[in-house]
A and B are shown apart, each in its own frame.
Chain A
Amino acid sequence: MITRVDLVADRIENPGNAQALVDSARMFGSHCLFRACGDFTTELIGAATSTEDVRPITDTELAAQYSPIVALDNLPRATSIYGFRLVEGPRPTMIVGNERWGIAHELESMAVQTVEIPLISRRLNCLNVAAAAAIGLYYLSRGGGGRLATRSAPARRRPELLLIGPSDHIEVGSSIRSACAFGWGRVFLEDREQKWFVRDRATRSEGRGAARRGRNSINVVPTKSDQRYAFDDVCVITTRILNRSGAPIYRANLADGHQQVIAIPDESRIDVKAVDWERLGRSVRFVHLDLPNQSFPYRYRLIASIALAEVARQVGRKIESRTTGRSDLRYGSSLDLLTETNGEVISLNELAVY
């Protein structure tokens, strides 16, 4: 059973994120409400194609109309979203916060429960707000799904990841950010549209910025569309049910280790049926996200992030040691490398191109 959970976005600053949040809510047939914050919110909603299901909301309206209210933020004592059971109520809603400051304190105190998306990376401690909202809505609308697996060696269970043909540099950047945050150290990228491995400075900088490349040390490996691989198992993530044999993502085994590859094609540009998937490996499976709404504006980062969250759930985390012994004191020596430059000098003319 799928529950409709509405989305409340608190003081969102970036119009791109606002539009992505609206698309995220539409994927699940939910309303997207922006917490009123002066004229800025009105402009933001204007940018995000204003309709009835997208409107501003005040704190009083929120408290009066919605129950239960759940906050999605990585706050202390937040519960994992995996396996989270929403308390019963007439109109559940989920709040996501500002990109930098998170959820406002007054909203946080209105929430009856706080949930977080468990991340593996130590350097990236948050996802893109729209990607996090999509993951939150996905699990809350399904009653939490399964719990986060615990394994002795989760790294051996982690499959390889292949991103195919993303059509927007921000979308691919955010997807790479999600991959790193969920613990991948390497991602294969088939950059058909040349959105990541691109010479145009503005596109490259925006993409790298979306991926938080300054802190994101993931290794992005370029591949070609005619490159052949010999994986044992190929799982293609789709948003549609292509054939009867296709399983929903929560029923598919997505934690089979390095001999398995999770392929996430951009379905806004790629016809999944027309692709020769046999080139990647012997056995090909189509896995669908089982979304409640079949017609929605396609956003690559949302689809990829939901898929990565589910794979990360199945891969799991290490069993916590129950011994209360002293932790190791450890010093490592290494040759330091810089993943990307953290800043660049640009002129005003160049800035105008962004």
Chain B
Amino acid sequence: VVEAIQEMSRSKHTRPYQILAASRVRAPYEPRRRGDKSSEYVALRTLKELGIAPGVNQIGVDRDENAPLPRILNKQPRGGRFQPLSRSDIIEALQFFGASCIYGIKSISLASGVGRSTGDGILLGAYVAPGRVLLFDQRPSPWRLTQRLPEVTIQKLRRAGADLDIAESGLRTIITWPGETLRAFLLFDGLMHEIGHHILQHSKGKRYARVVRTRDHEEFADRFAQECRARWSARDIEKG
């Protein structure tokens, strides 16, 4: 009975995002019934009528094949800056986190921050709906800041593994990024944070409409980035 229930097809509109993403990302232009058991039976019956007896695995979606990746654009960084993430870093991360992080993403740009308003902060990345992720160039370690850092930012940096040297009651801060910490920081608090924005927006089926309040959007993206960091760390531990 359990097997029979597992074989039953679900409604197309209630498939969880991960399952939907896995099929849609591999066949974005196919009709929605692609990969269903029902269509598999139709194909089998047709082949049988033609006198062909196919093997069990010859029909259906091959879920082991790698999902096609979005475009990754690499632009020249500004003078004195560099892109902590390379193209191969992004590909490795996307393949590890799977189709749900790729579904609906049109492009990931390693962009230069020229002409972008810095406001009161250091720009890491941006998500432009629908489906464009921008990651901005950064100064090499150490970062010397002459402005105060809010407590939230200090905690975020420490969590990412940065060494903070705060002097003159916060007016001078030197942020040192040991080893690969800056790359990891951009990977999770940049790339995966923006993909978190995308997943929330895309899973609701909205393109330009703001699906939740900005504060909730940011919270979701932060939580998603932290989960990704935990999964990545677990993988590294498994690898030894």
Contacts and interface: CB of A to CB of B under 8 A. Distances in A.
Interface of A: 155, 185, 217, 326-341
B210 A329 contact: yes
A155 B115 contact: yes
Contacts of A326: 208
A337 B123 contact: no
Given A337-B147, A339-B120, A329 B129 contact: yes
B148 to A, nearest CB: 4
B208 A337 contact: no
10 contacts: A155-B115, A329-B208, A329-B209, A330-B129, A331-B127, A333-B221, A334-B118, A336-B121, A337-B121, A339-B120
A336 to B, nearest CB: 5
A124 to B, nearest CB: 13
Contacts of A327: 208
Instruction: Pick from B121, B129, B210 the residue with the most CB of A within 10 Å.
Output: B121
Nearest to A156: B115
Given A326-B208, A336-B152, A338-B149, A331 B122 contact: no
Contacts of B214: 331
Given A217-B119, A328-B128, A328-B129, A336 B153 contact: yes
| B interface secondary structure, majority | mixed
Interface of B: 115, 118-130, 145, 147-150, 152-153, 156-157, 189-190, 193-194, 197, 201, 207-210, 214, 217-218, 221
Nearest to B189: A333
Contacts of B157: 335
Contact of B148 (A185, A217, A330, A338): A338
A330 B147 contact: no
Contacts, number: 80
A330 B133 CA distance: 10
Given A332-B125, A333-B193, A336-B120, 15 more contacts: A326-B208, A329-B130, A329-B210, A331-B126, A333-B126, A334-B118, A334-B121, A335-B149, A335-B156, A336-B121, A336-B153, A337-B120, A337-B148, A338-B147, A339-B147
B126 A335 contact: no
B174 to A, nearest CB: 14
Contacts of B128: 328-330
Contacts of A185: 118
Instruction: Pick from A326, A333, A336, A339 the residue with the most CB of B within 10 Å.
Output: A333
Nearest to A337: B147
A334 B124 contact: yes
B202 to A, nearest CB: 12
A333 B196 CA distance: 11
Contact of A333 (B125, B130, B149): B125
Nearest to A327: B208
Nearest to B194: A333
Contacts of B207: 329
A338 B119 CA distance: 10
A19 B65 CA distance: 77
Contacts of A341: 148
Contacts of A330: 126-129
A335 B124 contact: yes
Nearest to B210: A329
B221 A336 contact: no
A331 B221 contact: yes
A337 B189 contact: no
A151 to B, nearest CB: 14
B177 to A, nearest CB: 12
B126 A332 contact: yes
A334 B119 contact: yes
B221 A337 contact: no
Given A155-B115, A217-B119, A328-B129, A333 B145 contact: no
A326 B129 CA distance: 11
Contacts of B208: 326-329
A326 B207 CA distance: 10
